[in-house]
Amino acid sequence: MVERELLVSKEGLRKLEAELEQLKTVKRREVAERIKIAREFGDISENSEYEDAKNEQAFVEGRIQTLEKMLRQAQVVDEQAQDPEHIHIGSKVTVKDLDEDVEEVFEIVGSTEADPIKNKISNDSPVGKALLGGRPGDIVEVNAPIGKVRLKVLGIA
């Protein structure tokens, strides 16, 4: 199976690497210690502490595998090499919702960095896809869960 390229910023790559390092060096040891202590309680067939620790170990190992795969697929976006006149990953875009007459600022990021609460939207999201490649003055239509949304690009930072 061909692995799909995963676009990330330099900051996003550092966060993934830091999380992986923390899981491998700190969390693994903590979970192993929990398992060791839980085994000392005796019969592991009815030992909830042991079961919880084993479940946590499975989660940690799964997350490590996921992060390692993501890092193999990671392609760092060189924001300096991008055309500043067009929207790309790393752009902060000011848009106006033409139907609601509301302005918003979005930062277009790779899917691993998306955080809608902080207005960081994925390049794979409907809004992100519609905005990519756009320029100030463009009007894009987005098929959102709430219906069609019309956005006018006011600026790029």
**What is the pLDDT confidence band of residue 105, given thresholds at 50, 70 and 90?**
very high
Contacts 24+ apart (CB under 8 A), 17-25: 17/71, 19/67, 20/64, 20/67, 20/68, 20/71, 23/60, 23/63, 23/64, 23/67, 24/64
> Residue 124: pLDDT above 50?
yes
Which structure tokens are listed for 55?
């479940």
Backbone angles phi, psi at 142, to 5 degrees: -120, 130
pLDDT tens digits, one per residue of 2-60: 456 788 888 889 999 999 999 999 999 999 999 998 888 776 677 788 889 999 999 99
Residues sharing a CB contact under 8 Å with residue 34, sequence separation 6 or more, in sequence order: 49, 52, 53, 56
DSSP string computed for 131-145: HTT--TT-EEEEEET
**Bridge-partner residues for 147, per DSSP?**
144
> Residue 85: pLDDT above 50?
yes
Q: In the chain, how long is the greatest CA-to-CA distance?
A: 70
83-156, which class in CATH?
A: alpha beta
Asked whether the CA dihedral 49, 50, 56, 59 is positive or negative, the reply is: negative
Say if domain 6-76 classifies as CATH 3.40.309.10: no
Q: Please provide the average confidence, as pLDDT, over all residues in the chain.
A: 88
Domain boundaries, the chain: 6-76, 83-156
Task: Give the distance from CA 84 to its chain's centroid.
Answer: 23
CA proximity to 112, closest of 82, 155, 156, 77: 77
> Residue 1: pLDDT above 50?
no
